[in-house]
Amino acid sequence: MPVFIGVERAGRLREYLTPSEGAQWLESSSTRLDYPEAQSCVLHVFACGVAVFHLVQPHEPAALTDLAVWRYRSYASDLSWARDKIRELLEGDHAGAPNPEYVLSLYCLTSGPWAGDAYDTALRLLSTPSVLVDRGAPGGPAPLACTVEESLLATGFDHPDIVSFGVRGVSTAYAGWSGVAYASHSSERSLTTDELVACELTVQALWCFTRHIQQMVEDGQDPSMPERYGWRFLRAAASRLTTARAQETAQHVLMREAIMKTSGLAERLRTAQEALRESAG
């Protein structure tokens, strides 16, 4: 759950947090928080002004539909808690009322009852769980009839916005607008959960950053950021996220390309860069 808090606030918070290890081009610090609804919760605060709550929530649903319903029903309480927590951490500095807008889910499947084509379909459904839920139900998100899931698993499911980044014999993986689903078939060769999370943290931090710039433009303002995080920062970020590194594995490249494509971040970076450059010029 990302939220834009501003460069100055981020700097104040980071004074009390633990800096990220290693050479990180997108500077951040983190701390563990106590949230009863999660096995673990880590707050990552990026120097560019974005805070991201990373929740780990193991789940053993009876069916994919149950998981999808839980996901949408938990949105309200998770977002509300994150909003209150970030305001608490800012110690009364509520100007601009930081407010997380959305939850992005990464599903790491460890076991399931499916086989063959149904297994592949299950991962596709995980990446786009909205097809199993009536989100407009009067009492809140409700499950569609169980026959819907059964039919999709039997006949297959596809969506034009779903992108595969799995490797035969190594993993089954899909990225969609609302989530990423990953299943490892070879622990020695597949991507680790930490690698998947690291990619999403970077993408979501920058998505939130560019979203803030978009909001300023739509509010009729000339967007501005501290020079360190101006249009050159976004140009560098776009290059780092869209260009393969010399020692990067093929799996990393596939993961990053799929997540970038489905999130629409590449275009957002270009648009935000142009907006900041126009304001500066």
Q: Two tokens at 228?
A: 């360190």
Q: Within a 10 A sphere around the Cβ of 34, how many other Cβ atoms?
A: 8
Q: Which pLDDT tens digit goes with each residue over 114-124?
A: 999 999 999 99
Is residue 60 within a helix (H) or strand (E), and if so which, with residue range? Answer: none
Band of the pLDDT at 279, cuts 50, 70, 90? confident
Per-residue pLDDT band at 21 (split at 50, 70, 90): confident
Which residues have CB under 8 Å from 82's CB, separation 6+? 1, 3, 53, 100
pLDDT tops 80 at residue 23:
no
Contacts of 148 by beta carbon, 8 Å cutoff, 6+ apart? 65, 131, 132
Percentage of the residues of the chain whose pLDDT score is greater than 70? 97
Task: Give the SS3 label for residue 28.
Answer: strand
Distance between CA atoms of 14 and 200, rounded to whole angstroms? 20
- 93 pLDDT above the threshold of 70: no
What is the C-alpha to C-alpha distance for residues 25 and 202, in angstroms, rounded to an integer?
A: 10
> In angstroms, rounded to a whole number, what is the distance separating the alpha carbons of residues 74 and 69?
8
Average pLDDT over residues 189-197: 96
Residue 95 banded pLDDT, cuts 50, 70, 90: low
Q: Which residues pair with 233 in a beta bridge?
A: none
pTM for this model (two decimals) = 0.94
> How many residues are given for the chain?
281
pLDDT digits (tens, 9 = 90+) for 123-137: 999 999 999 999 999
